C-alpha cells in the first residue's frame, strides 16, 4: 500500500511538471511567490492549453504562479505586496478548488455491482 508521503510526492512531482516549477517550489516553507513561465512540458496532464495561460497554486506556504509571458508581466507587479489571502481574492483569479488526498487506510474494496464491470489500473 502506498504511504501518504509517497502519495504527496507523486502529486508534487506531477504539479511541478504541469506548472513548470520544481517540487520544492510547491511546498515552500516561506510566504513567497514563485513565478514561472507556463510551458507544455513532456508528461504534463492533458488539460486544454492556450497561449494565454494562468494558474496559481499553493500546497505549502509559497504560491506558484505559472503563466504565459505577457500575463506574467501583468500579474507579477499586482501580486508583489500581497499575502496568500489577498492573492487568491484578486479580481483576475476566477474560481477556487480545494483538493484532498484520500486516507488509504480508510479505503475498502467494494463488491461489484451487477451489470457493471471495472478494473483497477496501476502505473508503475
Question: What are the boundaries of each domain within the chain?
Answer: 4-106
Average pLDDT over residues 33-61: 90
Q: Kindly state the helix (H) or strand (E) to which residue 65 belongs, with its residue range.
A: strand 63-67
Name every residue whose Cβ is closer than 8 Å to that of residue 10 and which is 6 or more positions away in sequence: none
Residue from 55, 61, 54, 53 nearest 26 by CA: 61
Paired residues of 34 in beta bridges: 64
In contact, 92 and 86? CB cutoff 8 Å:
no
Read off the pTM.
0.81
pLDDT band at 124 (very low <50, low <70, confident <90, very high): low
| pLDDT at 70 > cutoff 80 | yes
Name every residue whose Cβ is closer than 8 Å to that of residue 11 and which is 6 or more positions away in sequence: 59, 101
Amino acid at each position: 500500500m502506498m504511504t501518504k508521503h509517497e502519495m504527496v510526492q507523486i502529486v508534487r512531482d506531477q504539479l511541478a511538471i504541469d506548472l513548470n516549477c520544481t517540487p520544492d517550489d510547491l511546498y515552500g516553507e516561506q510566504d513567497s511567490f514563485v513565478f514561472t513561465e507556463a510551458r507544455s512540458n513532456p508528461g504534463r496532464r492533458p488539460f486544454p492549453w492556450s497561449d494565454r495561460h494562468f494558474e496559481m497554486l499553493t500546497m505549502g506556504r509559497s504560491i506558484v504562479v505559472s503563466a504565459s509571458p505577457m500575463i506574467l508581466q501583468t500579474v507579477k507587479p499586482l501580486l508583489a505586496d500581497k499575502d496568500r489571502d489577498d492573492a487568491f481574492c484578486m479580481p483576475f483569479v476566477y474560481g477556487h478548488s480545494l483538493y484532498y488526498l484520500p486516507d488509504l487506510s480508510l479505503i475498502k474494496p467494494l463488491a461489484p455491482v451487477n451489470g457493471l464491470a471495472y478494473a483497477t489500473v496501476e502505473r508503475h
